[in-house]
Amino acid sequence: MKPRAIFIAGVLLAVGTFTAFPVQASPTASTLEPGSLARAHTIRAQIGARYRALPGGGLAITEASSTGVVESFALLTPDLLETRFLPADNGIYYATCPVRATCPYPARRLARPAADLAPHRLALELALHTFLESSADVVVNPFANTDLTFPALNALASHWAKRDVVVECPASLETWIADKNAGGTWAYTFRDADWTRIKVGLCEAALAAEQPDYGGIEPWLVAIAVHVITHESWHLRLWQGRRDEARVECKAIRSDRRSFLRLGATPDQADDLYSWAWAFHIRQAKLFPEYRLKGCGAKRPGPLSPPPPPPHDGSGPMAAG
Ligand SMILES: [Zn+2]
Protein backbone atom coordinates (compact mmCIF):
# COMPACT_ATOMS: atom_id res chain seq x y z
CA MET A 1 0.00 0.00 0.00
CA LYS A 2 1.50 3.35 -0.93
CA PRO A 3 1.74 6.05 1.72
CA ARG A 4 -1.03 8.63 1.75
CA ALA A 5 -0.67 12.15 2.96
CA ILE A 6 -2.78 14.57 4.95
CA PHE A 7 -1.97 18.27 4.79
CA ILE A 8 -3.73 20.45 7.27
CA ALA A 9 -2.08 23.74 6.53
CA GLY A 10 -1.35 25.70 9.63
CA VAL A 11 -2.69 23.18 12.08
CA LEU A 12 0.32 20.94 11.67
CA LEU A 13 2.65 23.90 11.94
CA ALA A 14 1.12 24.61 15.33
CA VAL A 15 2.06 21.19 16.64
CA GLY A 16 5.57 21.50 15.32
CA THR A 17 5.75 19.61 12.09
CA PHE A 18 4.93 21.18 8.77
CA THR A 19 2.85 23.77 7.11
CA ALA A 20 1.80 23.20 3.52
CA PHE A 21 0.91 25.47 0.68
CA PRO A 22 0.22 24.79 -2.96
CA VAL A 23 2.78 25.65 -5.63
CA GLN A 24 3.20 25.16 -9.35
CA ALA A 25 -0.22 25.83 -10.79
CA SER A 26 -0.61 23.83 -13.98
CA PRO A 27 -2.89 24.43 -16.96
CA THR A 28 -3.88 20.75 -16.91
CA ALA A 29 -5.80 19.30 -14.02
CA SER A 30 -4.03 16.66 -11.96
CA THR A 31 -5.66 13.28 -12.11
CA LEU A 32 -8.29 12.11 -9.67
CA GLU A 33 -9.63 8.60 -9.85
CA PRO A 34 -13.31 8.44 -10.87
CA GLY A 35 -15.69 8.08 -7.97
CA SER A 36 -13.38 9.72 -5.44
CA LEU A 37 -14.84 13.17 -5.96
CA ALA A 38 -18.43 11.94 -5.63
CA ARG A 39 -17.44 10.19 -2.42
CA ALA A 40 -15.81 13.39 -1.16
CA HIS A 41 -19.06 15.31 -1.70
CA THR A 42 -20.97 12.75 0.36
CA ILE A 43 -18.35 12.86 3.12
CA ARG A 44 -18.50 16.65 3.11
CA ALA A 45 -22.31 16.61 3.53
CA GLN A 46 -22.30 13.97 6.27
CA ILE A 47 -19.45 15.27 8.41
CA GLY A 48 -20.17 18.92 7.68
CA ALA A 49 -23.67 18.66 9.13
CA ARG A 50 -22.24 17.68 12.51
CA TYR A 51 -19.76 20.56 12.66
CA ARG A 52 -22.07 23.41 11.65
CA ALA A 53 -23.40 23.92 15.16
CA LEU A 54 -20.64 23.67 17.74
CA PRO A 55 -20.40 25.41 21.07
CA GLY A 56 -18.02 28.33 20.52
CA GLY A 57 -18.80 28.62 16.80
CA GLY A 58 -19.56 26.21 13.99
CA LEU A 59 -17.31 25.10 11.17
CA ALA A 60 -18.43 24.87 7.57
CA ILE A 61 -16.84 22.68 4.93
CA THR A 62 -17.21 25.11 2.08
CA GLU A 63 -15.67 23.06 -0.68
CA ALA A 64 -14.81 19.50 -1.66
CA SER A 65 -12.92 19.30 -4.91
CA SER A 66 -10.01 17.74 -6.71
CA THR A 67 -6.61 19.21 -5.88
CA GLY A 68 -7.10 20.22 -9.51
CA VAL A 69 -4.62 22.61 -11.01
CA VAL A 70 -2.12 22.24 -8.20
CA GLU A 71 0.79 20.00 -9.14
CA SER A 72 2.55 19.82 -5.84
CA PHE A 73 2.64 21.14 -2.30
CA ALA A 74 5.56 22.74 -0.56
CA LEU A 75 5.97 21.63 3.03
CA LEU A 76 7.86 24.01 5.30
CA THR A 77 9.49 23.08 8.58
CA PRO A 78 8.69 25.44 11.49
CA ASP A 79 12.05 27.19 11.22
CA LEU A 80 11.31 27.87 7.54
CA LEU A 81 14.75 26.56 6.63
CA GLU A 82 13.69 23.39 4.90
CA THR A 83 11.19 22.83 2.14
CA ARG A 84 9.96 19.57 0.69
CA PHE A 85 7.78 19.12 -2.34
CA LEU A 86 5.13 16.44 -2.60
CA PRO A 87 2.99 15.67 -5.63
CA ALA A 88 -0.69 16.62 -5.33
CA ASP A 89 -1.86 13.97 -7.75
CA ASN A 90 -5.07 12.11 -6.97
CA GLY A 91 -5.93 14.42 -4.11
CA ILE A 92 -9.07 15.81 -2.50
CA TYR A 93 -9.18 19.41 -1.31
CA TYR A 94 -11.58 20.34 1.49
CA ALA A 95 -11.92 24.00 2.44
CA THR A 96 -13.06 24.62 5.99
CA CYS A 97 -14.11 27.97 7.37
CA PRO A 98 -15.68 29.22 10.60
CA VAL A 99 -19.41 29.76 10.01
CA ARG A 100 -20.08 33.41 8.96
CA ALA A 101 -16.38 34.09 8.28
CA THR A 102 -14.87 35.06 4.94
CA CYS A 103 -12.26 32.51 3.99
CA PRO A 104 -9.42 31.89 3.29
CA TYR A 105 -8.50 34.89 5.47
CA PRO A 106 -11.11 35.20 8.19
CA ALA A 107 -11.13 38.24 10.43
CA ARG A 108 -9.08 38.14 13.60
CA ARG A 109 -12.13 38.16 15.85
CA LEU A 110 -13.25 34.88 14.26
CA ALA A 111 -9.90 33.24 14.89
CA ARG A 112 -10.08 29.99 16.78
CA PRO A 113 -7.96 29.59 19.89
CA ALA A 114 -5.00 27.26 19.44
CA ALA A 115 -6.43 24.98 22.13
CA ASP A 116 -9.62 24.49 20.13
CA LEU A 117 -9.40 20.94 18.86
CA ALA A 118 -12.51 21.06 16.66
CA PRO A 119 -10.72 22.04 13.41
CA HIS A 120 -8.09 19.36 14.03
CA ARG A 121 -10.76 16.74 14.72
CA LEU A 122 -12.72 17.76 11.64
CA ALA A 123 -9.59 17.58 9.47
CA LEU A 124 -8.69 14.14 10.74
CA GLU A 125 -12.25 12.86 10.28
CA LEU A 126 -12.28 14.14 6.71
CA ALA A 127 -8.95 12.50 6.00
CA LEU A 128 -9.85 9.22 7.64
CA HIS A 129 -13.17 8.89 5.81
CA THR A 130 -11.67 9.92 2.49
CA PHE A 131 -8.85 7.39 2.76
CA LEU A 132 -11.19 4.60 3.87
CA GLU A 133 -13.94 5.30 1.38
CA SER A 134 -12.11 6.46 -1.74
CA SER A 135 -8.84 5.82 -3.54
CA ALA A 136 -7.51 9.38 -3.06
CA ASP A 137 -3.83 9.55 -2.04
CA VAL A 138 -3.75 13.08 -0.65
CA VAL A 139 -6.18 15.05 1.49
CA VAL A 140 -5.68 18.79 1.84
CA ASN A 141 -7.62 20.84 4.36
CA PRO A 142 -6.28 24.36 4.70
CA PHE A 143 -8.29 25.40 7.71
CA ALA A 144 -6.54 27.35 10.45
CA ASN A 145 -5.75 30.26 8.22
CA THR A 146 -6.86 32.13 11.28
CA ASP A 147 -4.12 33.27 13.62
CA LEU A 148 -2.97 31.19 16.56
CA THR A 149 -2.08 32.44 19.99
CA PHE A 150 -0.04 30.79 22.73
CA PRO A 151 -0.53 31.49 26.46
CA ALA A 152 3.23 31.64 27.15
CA LEU A 153 3.78 34.32 24.50
CA ASN A 154 0.72 36.32 25.55
CA ALA A 155 1.98 36.19 29.14
CA LEU A 156 5.45 37.38 28.10
CA ALA A 157 4.09 40.27 26.04
CA SER A 158 1.59 41.22 28.75
CA HIS A 159 4.39 41.28 31.32
CA TRP A 160 6.38 43.90 29.39
CA ALA A 161 3.28 45.75 28.18
CA LYS A 162 1.98 45.93 31.76
CA ARG A 163 -1.52 45.07 30.51
CA ASP A 164 -3.24 42.16 28.79
CA VAL A 165 -2.09 41.94 25.18
CA VAL A 166 -2.13 39.18 22.59
CA VAL A 167 0.63 37.86 20.34
CA GLU A 168 -0.93 36.74 17.09
CA CYS A 169 0.86 34.03 15.18
CA PRO A 170 -0.04 33.50 11.52
CA ALA A 171 -0.98 29.87 11.01
CA SER A 172 0.50 29.72 7.54
CA LEU A 173 2.92 31.44 5.21
CA GLU A 174 -0.06 32.19 2.95
CA THR A 175 -1.84 34.34 5.50
CA TRP A 176 1.35 36.24 6.32
CA ILE A 177 2.04 36.91 2.65
CA ALA A 178 -1.58 37.96 2.13
CA ASP A 179 -1.33 40.48 4.99
CA LYS A 180 -0.79 43.89 3.41
CA ASN A 181 0.63 45.32 6.66
CA ALA A 182 3.21 42.60 7.00
CA GLY A 183 5.40 43.26 3.95
CA GLY A 184 9.08 43.20 4.86
CA THR A 185 8.48 43.28 8.62
CA TRP A 186 9.35 40.93 11.47
CA ALA A 187 6.17 41.98 13.25
CA TYR A 188 3.80 44.90 13.48
CA THR A 189 1.14 46.46 15.61
CA PHE A 190 -1.08 49.51 15.39
CA ARG A 191 -1.00 52.55 17.61
CA ASP A 192 -2.27 51.63 21.08
CA ALA A 193 -3.63 48.27 19.93
CA ASP A 194 -3.70 45.41 22.41
CA TRP A 195 -2.18 42.92 19.98
CA THR A 196 0.86 42.42 17.80
CA ARG A 197 1.16 40.18 14.78
CA ILE A 198 4.45 38.27 14.45
CA LYS A 199 6.04 36.91 11.29
CA VAL A 200 5.10 33.35 10.45
CA GLY A 201 7.31 30.79 12.19
CA LEU A 202 8.66 33.13 14.87
CA CYS A 203 6.13 32.15 17.57
CA GLU A 204 7.12 28.53 17.28
CA ALA A 205 10.79 29.53 17.42
CA ALA A 206 10.23 31.64 20.56
CA LEU A 207 8.42 28.78 22.28
CA ALA A 208 11.46 26.57 21.66
CA ALA A 209 13.54 28.70 24.07
CA GLU A 210 12.73 26.29 26.91
CA GLN A 211 13.84 23.15 25.12
CA PRO A 212 17.30 21.66 25.72
CA ASP A 213 18.36 21.95 22.07
CA TYR A 214 15.73 24.55 21.11
CA GLY A 215 13.73 21.74 19.53
CA GLY A 216 16.22 21.61 16.67
CA ILE A 217 15.57 25.26 15.75
CA GLU A 218 18.66 27.41 15.17
CA PRO A 219 19.54 29.47 18.30
CA TRP A 220 19.80 32.70 16.29
CA LEU A 221 16.20 32.25 15.11
CA VAL A 222 14.97 31.55 18.65
CA ALA A 223 16.79 34.66 19.89
CA ILE A 224 15.46 36.92 17.13
CA ALA A 225 11.93 35.58 17.67
CA VAL A 226 11.98 36.39 21.38
CA HIS A 227 13.62 39.76 20.73
CA VAL A 228 10.96 40.69 18.15
CA ILE A 229 8.14 39.77 20.55
CA THR A 230 9.83 41.70 23.36
CA HIS A 231 10.31 44.72 21.07
CA GLU A 232 6.63 44.68 20.08
CA SER A 233 5.62 44.35 23.74
CA TRP A 234 7.39 47.61 24.51
CA HIS A 235 5.40 49.26 21.69
CA LEU A 236 2.26 47.96 23.41
CA ARG A 237 3.17 49.36 26.83
CA LEU A 238 1.38 52.65 27.42
CA TRP A 239 4.47 54.74 28.14
CA GLN A 240 5.83 57.92 26.68
CA GLY A 241 8.43 56.25 24.43
CA ARG A 242 6.14 53.66 22.83
CA ARG A 243 6.22 55.20 19.36
CA ASP A 244 9.96 55.86 19.37
CA GLU A 245 11.71 52.94 17.63
CA ALA A 246 15.08 53.72 19.21
CA ARG A 247 13.72 53.82 22.76
CA VAL A 248 11.57 50.73 22.21
CA GLU A 249 14.50 48.80 20.72
CA CYS A 250 16.74 49.81 23.62
CA LYS A 251 14.12 48.61 26.13
CA ALA A 252 13.82 45.36 24.16
CA ILE A 253 17.51 44.46 24.19
CA ARG A 254 17.69 45.32 27.89
CA SER A 255 14.69 43.03 28.54
CA ASP A 256 15.72 40.14 26.31
CA ARG A 257 17.65 38.09 28.84
CA ARG A 258 14.69 38.15 31.23
CA SER A 259 12.38 37.26 28.32
CA PHE A 260 14.44 34.13 27.61
CA LEU A 261 14.26 33.14 31.29
CA ARG A 262 10.51 33.81 31.42
CA LEU A 263 10.04 31.47 28.46
CA GLY A 264 11.84 28.73 30.38
CA ALA A 265 15.43 29.01 29.13
CA THR A 266 18.18 28.09 31.61
CA PRO A 267 20.61 30.87 32.63
CA ASP A 268 23.23 29.38 30.26
CA GLN A 269 20.72 29.27 27.41
CA ALA A 270 19.68 32.85 28.18
CA ASP A 271 23.33 33.92 27.84
CA ASP A 272 23.69 31.97 24.62
CA LEU A 273 20.52 33.48 23.15
CA TYR A 274 21.43 36.96 24.34
CA SER A 275 24.60 36.94 22.23
CA TRP A 276 22.44 36.33 19.13
CA ALA A 277 19.85 38.91 20.16
CA TRP A 278 22.67 41.40 20.68
CA ALA A 279 24.03 40.73 17.18
CA PHE A 280 20.56 41.28 15.73
CA HIS A 281 20.12 44.47 17.77
CA ILE A 282 23.45 45.83 16.46
CA ARG A 283 22.49 44.88 12.91
CA GLN A 284 19.17 46.73 13.17
CA ALA A 285 20.85 49.84 14.53
CA LYS A 286 23.46 49.76 11.74
CA LEU A 287 20.92 49.29 8.96
CA PHE A 288 18.16 51.53 10.29
CA PRO A 289 19.31 54.69 12.14
CA GLU A 290 15.86 55.16 13.66
CA TYR A 291 16.56 52.10 15.85
CA ARG A 292 19.77 53.58 17.25
CA LEU A 293 19.67 55.14 20.72
CA LYS A 294 22.77 56.89 21.97
CA GLY A 295 23.65 55.84 25.48
CA CYS A 296 21.25 52.92 25.55
CA GLY A 297 23.62 51.11 27.87
CA ALA A 298 22.60 47.58 26.95
CA LYS A 299 25.01 45.02 28.34
CA ARG A 300 27.45 43.47 25.88
CA PRO A 301 27.23 39.69 25.82
CA GLY A 302 29.94 38.02 27.88
CA PRO A 303 31.86 34.83 27.13
CA LEU A 304 29.37 31.98 26.89
CA SER A 305 30.96 29.66 29.44
CA PRO A 306 34.22 29.97 31.41
CA PRO A 307 37.18 28.35 29.65
CA PRO A 308 38.45 25.13 31.26
CA PRO A 309 41.32 25.63 33.76
CA PRO A 310 44.83 25.16 32.30
CA PRO A 311 46.42 21.77 32.88
CA HIS A 312 48.85 21.54 35.84
CA ASP A 313 51.16 18.91 34.37
CA GLY A 314 53.68 21.36 32.98
CA SER A 315 52.45 20.90 29.42
CA GLY A 316 50.94 24.40 29.23
CA PRO A 317 52.33 27.06 26.92
CA MET A 318 55.84 28.24 27.75
CA ALA A 319 56.35 31.82 28.79
CA ALA A 320 58.04 33.79 26.03
CA GLY A 321 61.38 35.36 26.67
ZN1 LIG B 1 9.31 48.74 16.43
Alpha-carbon distance of 252 to 23, in angstroms, equals: 37
- Cα 57 to ligand 1 centroid, rounded to whole Å: 35
- Cα 306 to ligand 1 centroid, rounded to whole Å: 35
Answer with the residue of higher pLDDT: 95 or 84.
95
- Cα 63 to ligand 1 centroid, rounded to whole Å: 40
pLDDT in tens, 244-263: 999 999 999 999 999 999 99
User: Does this model's pTM top 0.75?
Assistant: no
Query: In the prediction, which pLDDT does 179 show?
Result: 78
Query: In the prediction, which pLDDT does 319 show?
Result: 41
If pLDDT is split at 50, 70 and 90, which confidence band does 206 have? very high
- Cα 251 to ligand 1 centroid, rounded to whole Å: 11
Determine how many CB atoms are found less than 10 A away from the CB of residue 155: 14
**Left if phi > 0, otherwise alpha if psi is -120 to 50, otherwise beta: which for 56?**
left
Query: In the prediction, which pLDDT does 26 show?
Result: 46
- Cα 85 to ligand 1 centroid, rounded to whole Å: 35
- Cα 245 to ligand 1 centroid, rounded to whole Å: 5
- Cα 174 to ligand 1 centroid, rounded to whole Å: 23
- Cα 244 to ligand 1 centroid, rounded to whole Å: 8
Query: Can you give the residue ranges of every domain in the chain?
Result: 5-140, 151-291
- Cα 219 to ligand 1 centroid, rounded to whole Å: 22
If pLDDT is split at 50, 70 and 90, which confidence band does 15 have? very low
pLDDT in tens, 127-163: 889 888 988 887 877 654 567 788 899 999 999 999 9
Residues 6+ away with beta carbon under 8 Å from 18? 7, 12, 75, 76, 77, 78, 84
